[in-house]
Amino acid sequence: MRIYRFDEIESTSKFLREKDDIMERDLAIAKVQTLGRGRRGNRWVSTEGAALFSFVLKHDVEIQEDEYMKLPLLVGYSLLYSLKKIEELDYKFKWTNDLYLEDKKISGILVEKIRDNYVIGIGLNVNNLNLEEVKNIAISLREKTGKVYSLEEVIVTIVKDFYSNFQDFKNGKWKEILEEINRVNYLYGKRIDIVTFDKEESGIAGDILEDGTLEVFVGSEIKKYNIGSVHISKK
Ligand code: BTN
């Protein structure tokens, strides 16, 4: 594993995306990001104390392209698995790939494909307390437990666990992984608004299905979503 550490950088994912000799297991870690990016072009608040890192997974030709649709879920599952080892708390998985604790976001995941590689970027609120601008929607481990964690240890644990869980996924463990994700499915039974490319719909969220899609009960119909921005409905 080659580790690139930065006190400050625009974005660890951008660094790996633009690096021309990236290899599987390359890991970029930053103390602060000045241009942290979230999904759908959102900004990711990247203050000191958070674990901000990205790492590389090589596209494996033995795995069918479709299977990679499950990658964001697998990263979420693996992160949950690591977090439970670090601190046994009641984390929830919010489809497609956020982790929640007490109805607040503790982590966000951004998976991007760059030629033959996937760059997996994770922002995890660990020691940061200064979440003023997002305090009603975000939480950190330290805010919950009062403890201070070694960021490097947390990050290395998460990355190592991911490669090991990916191996299990390759060896056919998806059913068990999916069961675990559904056990902690944050959206299950909640009324949600889901925004896809062209429209917004509202319905009751159900399970995450075998192919990684989310089942939503919209009126008398059952729909399956494979992409979309989801919010708990305020209506
Ligand atoms: C989201 O919730 O929208 C995903 C947020 C992902 C943020 C991480 S922080 C490390 C890596 N570098 C980035 O610019 N983004 C990801």
Calpha distance 103→137 (Å, rounded): 8
Higher pLDDT, 225 or 124: 124
Does the Cβ of 108 fall within 6 Å of ligand 1? yes
Threshold 0.75, pTM exceeds = yes
**CA–centroid distance, residue 232 to ligand 1 (Å):** 21
- The CB density around residue 132, as the number of other CB atoms within 10 Å, is 8
Q: What length does the chain have?
A: 235
pLDDT digits (tens, 9 = 90+) for 117-156: 999 999 999 999 866 666 678 899 999 999 999 999 999 9
What is the pLDDT confidence band of residue 235, given thresholds at 50, 70 and 90?
A: low
What one-character DSSP code corresponds to residue 132? G
Does the Cβ of 93 fall within 6 Å of ligand 1? no
pLDDT digits (tens, 9 = 90+) for 57-99: 999 888 888 889 899 999 999 999 999 999 999 999 999 889 9
Higher pLDDT, 169 or 134: 169
**CA–centroid distance, residue 37 to ligand 1 (Å):** 5
Higher pLDDT, 118 or 115: 118
Give the nearest ligand 1 atom to 123 CA.
9
